[in-house]
Amino acid sequence: MEKKQFYVNIATGEIARNHVGNNNSFIIHATDEEAILLREQLDKMHNASVRSFFRAHVPITPYSNDADNDEYDDGLIKAYKMLENLGDADTKAHVRELEFLQDVHDEE
Protein backbone atom coordinates (compact mmCIF):
# COMPACT_ATOMS: atom_id res chain seq x y z
CA MET A 1 0.00 0.00 0.00
CA GLU A 2 1.14 3.49 -0.82
CA LYS A 3 1.93 5.80 2.08
CA LYS A 4 0.65 9.34 1.85
CA GLN A 5 1.46 12.42 3.85
CA PHE A 6 -1.13 13.52 6.42
CA TYR A 7 -1.23 16.52 8.72
CA VAL A 8 -2.39 15.79 12.26
CA ASN A 9 -3.51 18.01 15.11
CA ILE A 10 -4.24 15.98 18.24
CA ALA A 11 -5.86 18.91 20.06
CA THR A 12 -8.52 19.38 17.39
CA GLY A 13 -8.68 15.72 16.37
CA GLU A 14 -7.85 16.65 12.80
CA ILE A 15 -6.22 14.43 10.19
CA ALA A 16 -5.95 15.99 6.75
CA ARG A 17 -4.20 15.41 3.45
CA ASN A 18 -3.83 19.17 2.91
CA HIS A 19 -2.11 21.70 5.13
CA VAL A 20 -4.71 24.24 6.19
CA GLY A 21 -4.43 26.63 9.12
CA ASN A 22 -2.88 25.00 12.16
CA ASN A 23 -3.42 21.36 11.27
CA ASN A 24 0.29 20.63 10.89
CA SER A 25 1.20 19.96 14.51
CA PHE A 26 2.43 16.59 13.34
CA ILE A 27 3.20 15.13 9.92
CA ILE A 28 2.81 11.42 9.33
CA HIS A 29 3.24 9.11 6.37
CA ALA A 30 0.55 6.46 6.43
CA THR A 31 -1.57 4.21 4.28
CA ASP A 32 -5.26 4.97 4.12
CA GLU A 33 -5.87 2.09 6.53
CA GLU A 34 -3.35 3.46 9.06
CA ALA A 35 -4.93 6.91 8.82
CA ILE A 36 -8.34 5.34 9.46
CA LEU A 37 -7.00 3.59 12.57
CA LEU A 38 -5.64 6.90 13.86
CA ARG A 39 -8.98 8.59 13.06
CA GLU A 40 -10.80 5.88 15.03
CA GLN A 41 -8.45 6.40 17.97
CA LEU A 42 -9.05 10.16 17.93
CA ASP A 43 -12.81 9.55 17.74
CA LYS A 44 -12.65 7.28 20.79
CA MET A 45 -10.75 9.98 22.67
CA HIS A 46 -13.35 12.59 21.72
CA ASN A 47 -16.20 10.35 22.87
CA ALA A 48 -14.48 9.68 26.19
CA SER A 49 -13.90 13.41 26.61
CA VAL A 50 -17.58 14.19 26.06
CA ARG A 51 -18.61 11.55 28.57
CA SER A 52 -16.11 12.97 31.08
CA PHE A 53 -17.56 16.44 30.57
CA PHE A 54 -21.01 15.24 31.54
CA ARG A 55 -19.66 13.19 34.45
CA ALA A 56 -17.90 16.30 35.76
CA HIS A 57 -21.29 17.86 36.39
CA VAL A 58 -22.32 15.10 38.78
CA PRO A 59 -20.89 16.24 42.11
CA ILE A 60 -21.20 12.89 43.89
CA THR A 61 -18.91 11.08 41.43
CA PRO A 62 -15.26 11.54 42.39
CA TYR A 63 -12.83 12.48 39.63
CA SER A 64 -10.50 9.65 40.65
CA ASN A 65 -13.25 7.13 39.89
CA ASP A 66 -13.88 8.07 36.26
CA ALA A 67 -13.35 5.34 33.68
CA ASP A 68 -13.91 7.84 30.88
CA ASN A 69 -10.90 9.90 32.00
CA ASP A 70 -8.83 6.73 32.07
CA GLU A 71 -10.09 5.80 28.60
CA TYR A 72 -9.13 9.24 27.29
CA ASP A 73 -5.65 9.02 28.83
CA ASP A 74 -5.09 5.54 27.40
CA GLY A 75 -6.31 6.74 24.02
CA LEU A 76 -3.95 9.70 24.10
CA ILE A 77 -0.99 7.41 24.73
CA LYS A 78 -2.07 5.10 21.89
CA ALA A 79 -2.51 8.05 19.53
CA TYR A 80 0.96 9.40 20.31
CA LYS A 81 2.46 5.94 19.83
CA MET A 82 0.82 5.83 16.41
CA LEU A 83 2.25 9.27 15.62
CA GLU A 84 5.69 8.08 16.69
CA ASN A 85 5.45 5.02 14.45
CA LEU A 86 4.08 6.86 11.41
CA GLY A 87 5.63 10.28 11.83
CA ASP A 88 8.34 12.06 9.93
CA ALA A 89 11.66 12.72 11.70
CA ASP A 90 10.40 15.87 13.44
CA THR A 91 7.23 14.16 14.65
CA LYS A 92 9.15 11.16 15.97
CA ALA A 93 11.61 13.42 17.80
CA HIS A 94 8.85 15.54 19.30
CA VAL A 95 6.85 12.57 20.55
CA ARG A 96 9.93 10.98 22.10
CA GLU A 97 10.51 14.17 24.11
CA LEU A 98 7.01 14.30 25.64
CA GLU A 99 7.39 13.89 29.40
CA PHE A 100 4.07 12.14 29.96
CA LEU A 101 5.21 9.35 27.61
CA GLN A 102 8.55 8.78 29.33
CA ASP A 103 7.11 6.16 31.69
CA VAL A 104 5.55 4.36 28.72
CA HIS A 105 8.86 4.34 26.85
CA ASP A 106 10.70 3.17 29.99
CA GLU A 107 8.29 0.21 30.35
CA GLU A 108 8.87 -0.95 26.76
The model's pLDDT over 4-20, given as tens digits with 9 standing for 90+, comes to 999 999 988 999 999 88
* pLDDT, average across residues 23-47: 93
Q: What is the mean pLDDT of the chain?
A: 87
pLDDT of residue 105: 53
Q: d(Cα 25, Cα 7) in Å, to the nearest integer?
A: 7
* pLDDT, average across residues 24-30: 92
Q: d(Cα 78, Cα 73) in Å, to the nearest integer?
A: 9
Full-model pTM: 0.83
Q: d(Cα 83, Cα 94) in Å, to the nearest integer?
A: 10
The model's pLDDT over 51-77, given as tens digits with 9 standing for 90+, comes to 887 777 777 767 667 788 888 889 999
Give the total number of structural domains in the chain: 1
Q: Among the residues of the chain, which ranges form H helices?
A: 32-55, 67-86, 89-97, 102-107
> What range does the domain containing 79 cover?
4-107
